[in-house]
Structure 1
Amino acid sequence: MESSMLQTCTNLIKNAQNIVVLTGAGISTESGIKDFRSQTGLYQTSPEYILSLDNFYHNPKGFYQFAFENLYHPQALPNTGHKILAQWEKDGRVSHIITQNIDALHQKAGSKKVIEFHGTMKTATCQNCRKSYTAEEMIIRRNTMDDFYICDHCHTQNRKDRYIKPDVVLFGDTGEWFTIDGFNEIINIIHQADCILVLGTSLKVTPFSTFPQYRRDDIPLIIVNKGDSPYDNTKDSYVIHDSIGETLTKINSSFHPPFA
């Protein structure tokens, strides 16, 4: 890590009062959660089908098996990066975190203003009556019922209408933030920021990848990610290819007591 770049990023963050943070899988890998799209990720072929709405409806039991084995990490703990972001929010430095992650580690660390753009694995919802089930309830149902994925709180002629889907955004799916109002709210949040901090994402998956484009002119874009991104060489971009936890610890130490 170049000391001059680190110092520049430290000064930008130290002087910012409305940082919007965009996070991806790279911040969660430091908590032991495997990513998907890297060379060592969980899948290298057909991710668009494995995590698609079609696959969920075609093979709900197989989908849930994959999801609980690979997407649900109740034992994972927030790492230093998550904790520092929560502290910066408490300090009034970070206004929002917009994350691609579905593991809720930002909330576990204490962050309050978190937009889970791709949803969450913590809950699942009946697609007919909208009854909500916790992941723990779905695990119990899966262990005790054959058709655990079919809601028994409501009734329809077509059983598929009563499928209970995890509240993650799948390929071919829509989510809470995949609406005109949702997009506009995020764009407004980013437009008000005086610094955009990107952590652990290559910014190559749309529409999440478009968000930095909505920052105001001359607003700095700080990217901490081990891989490259399309924004690395754009105007007002500052890039550090290093560990998120180590980088944020060094930045934090310039204006905060050592982080426990």
Structure 2
Amino acid sequence: MSIDILKASINTIKNAEKIVVLTGAGISTESGIKDFRSRKGIYQLAPEYILSIDYFYQQPKEFYQFALENLYHPEAAPNSGHMILSKWEQAGKIQQIITQNIDGLHQKAGSKNVIEFHGTMKTASCQNCGKIYLTEEIIIRLKNLEEFYVCDNCETKQKRNRYIKPDVVLFGDTGEWFTFEGFNTIHNMVNRADCLLVLGTSLKVTPFSTFPQYRRHGVPMIIINIGDTPYDFEANTYVIQDSIGKSLSQIHTAIKEC
């Protein structure tokens, strides 16, 4: 990281009062959670198809086995990056965190204003009646019931209509925010920001990757990510290809000393 970029990032965060944060897997890898597309990522273990809505309905047992082993991390703890974002929110700097992550670590760190754009692994829902099950309940059901993934709160002619699906957005699936109203809400949040902070995402997966396009002209964007993104050379953009926890700690310390 160059000194000039670090100074610019410090000044930007120091003066900002309406920061919108976009986060991806890169902030969670520092808590020991695997990402998806790197050389050590989840997709090296299995094809993307396993995390599709079609596979869930065709092979629910196998889907759950893979998802619980690779996507559910109740023991994971927030790292310094998560904690600093929470402190900045409490200080009134951060207006909103919009995350691709499904691990709940932002909330564990104390952040309140979090949109889980791709859902959460904390719960699962019946696709017929909407009954919500904690993932801990699903694990207990898995140990005691053959068809643990079939809701017993409602009845339908076809069992698959009442399958209990984790509340995550799968390939071929849509989520709570995948509506005109949802997108419009996020676009307005980004448009009102006086700083866009992008952490741990390559910004190459749509529709999440489109969100930076809605920042107002001249509004600074800070990107902290090990790899490249399509926005790295845009005007008023500061790129730091380093650890998120380390980088945010440096910025946070510098702001406190100002």
TM-score by length of 1: 0.97
1:189 maps to 2:189: yes
1:25 maps to 2:25: yes
Deviations 1:225-249 (A, max 9, x none): 0000000011111100000000000
| Cα distance between partner residues in 2 of 1:42 and 1:159 | 30
| Cα distance between partner residues in 2 of 1:95 and 1:54 | 36
| Cα distance between partner residues in 1 of 2:187 and 2:46 | 31
Matched position secondary structure for 2:181:
helix
Aligned to 1:134: 134
| Cα distance between partner residues in 2 of 1:256 and 1:143 | 50
Aligned to 2:174: 174
Give 1:46 deviation, angstroms.
Answer: 6.7
Give 1:38 deviation, angstroms.
Answer: 1.1
1:229 maps to 2:229: yes
Count of residue pairs the alignment pairs up: 257
Matched position secondary structure for 1:96:
strand
Give 1:94 deviation, angstroms.
Answer: 0.4
Matched position secondary structure for 1:166:
strand
| Cα distance between partner residues in 1 of 2:226 and 2:77 | 21
With 139-148 and 34-43 compared, the bigger mean Cα shift is at 34-43
Give 1:40 deviation, angstroms.
Answer: 1.8
Aligned to 1:93: 93
Give 1:42 deviation, angstroms.
Answer: 1.6
Asked whether the equivalents of residues 227 and 241 of structure 2 are also in contact (C-alpha less than 8 Å), the reply is yes
Q: How does 1:118-133 map to 2 (within 5 A)?
A: 118-133=118-133
Aligned to 2:41: 41
| Cα distance between partner residues in 2 of 1:58 and 1:169 | 17
Asked whether the equivalents of residues 200 and 224 of structure 2 are also in contact (C-alpha less than 8 Å), the reply is yes
Give 1:251 deviation, angstroms.
Answer: 0.2
Moved over 6 A (4+): none
Matched position secondary structure for 1:157:
coil
What amino acid maps onto 1:173 in structure 2? D
| Cα distance between partner residues in 2 of 1:112 and 1:19 | 14
1:54 maps to 2:54: yes
Deviations 1:151-171 (A, max 9, x none): 000000000000000000001
Q: How does 1:96-111 map to 2 (within 5 A)?
A: 96-111=96-111
Give 1:49 deviation, angstroms.
Answer: 0.8
Aligned to 2:79: 79
Asked whether the equivalents of residues 37 and 44 of structure 2 are also in contact (C-alpha less than 8 Å), the reply is yes
Give 1:83 deviation, angstroms.
Answer: 0.2
Deviations 1:49-76 (A, max 9, x none): 1110000000000000000000000000
Q: How does 1:111-260 map to 2 (within 5 A)?
A: 111-256=111-256
What amino acid maps onto 2:59 in structure 1? N
| Cα distance between partner residues in 2 of 1:63 and 1:51 | 7
Q: Tell me, which stretches of 5 or more residues in structure 1 are unaligned?
A: none
Asked whether the equivalents of residues 10 and 255 of structure 2 are also in contact (C-alpha less than 8 Å), the reply is no
Aligned to 2:3: 3
RMSD: 1.0
Matched position secondary structure for 1:256:
helix
| Cα distance between partner residues in 1 of 2:20 and 2:230 | 19
Give 1:193 deviation, angstroms.
Answer: 0.2
What amino acid maps onto 1:179 in structure 2? T
What amino acid maps onto 2:241 in structure 1? H
Q: Tell me, which stretches of 5 or more residues in structure 2 are unaligned?
A: none
